[in-house]
Amino acid sequence: MRAQVAEFFGTFWLVLGGCGSAVLAAAFPDVGIGLLGVALAFGLTVLTMAFAIGHISGCHLNPAVTIGLWAGGRFGAGQILSYILAQVLGGLAAGGVLYLIASGQAGFDLAGGFASNGYGEHSPGGYSLTAALICEVVMTAMFLLVILGATDSRAPAGFAPIAIGLCLTLIHLISIPVTNTSVNPARSTGVALYVGDWATSQLWLFWVAPIIGALIGAAIYRYLGASSAQ
């Protein structure tokens, strides 16, 4: 169970670090970190955990990544459910800790979104369901392409965490205005269940789209990787 425990704490750190930066620091008076800071925070959580637990669990931290690695031939089917359960529980635990911290400020209100993902009137930029679906599918597909490529035995050794962390940062820079950026069902679930209402009613998209994107990304890399090996 050590791998699953590692996934729990890794996903806990991703949600606490990424969503925590959005809830607590993004618009802090005068010195708020803004969109760039939140994007960097998400990337840093993955980069740091990849070095910390990559050798224990592979540092998936994301149900879509776990499924994508299985589709890419890098992960056994027998551990998929246990990994996803650990990731979701880690995300929920982080959401709980973040709620306890954030609610200590006078005037805190979950109606502000609590870093939840959304579309339509709940998209930061007012983007439609279709735009959100396309964005999440494409961003997750590219994320899996980078993950599979950076961790390929033929890639330069030791640099995968940096490439993957920077990729997630770039994904957030592109898509925060569209959906508040998910590409990770555990991240979305970890805060949406505390908000309830619209956040849970729209949560389906942030499971379906990342998983579809992960399968597409895995298929692309299986083709590219096999071609380059010939």
Q: What does the pLDDT look like over 124-169, one tens digit per residue?
A: 999 999 999 999 999 999 999 999 999 998 988 889 999 999 999 9
Label residue 225 by pLDDT band (50, 70, 90). Answer: confident
Segment among 28-32, 171-175, 204-208 with least mean pLDDT: 28-32
Average pLDDT, the chain: 94
* pTM, to two decimals: 0.94
Q: Is the domain defined by 1-223 classed in CATH 1.20.1080.10?
A: yes
Residue 31: the pLDDT is: 64
Mean pLDDT of 81-88: 98
Q: How far apart are CA 112 and CA 140, in angstroms?
A: 26
Residue 213: the pLDDT is: 98
The domains of the chain are located at 1-223
Residue 30: the pLDDT is: 66
pLDDT digits (tens, 9 = 90+) for 15-57: 999 999 999 998 766 667 889 999 999 999 999 999 999 999 9
Cβ–Cβ < 8 Å for 94, 13: yes
Label residue 193 by pLDDT band (50, 70, 90). Answer: very high
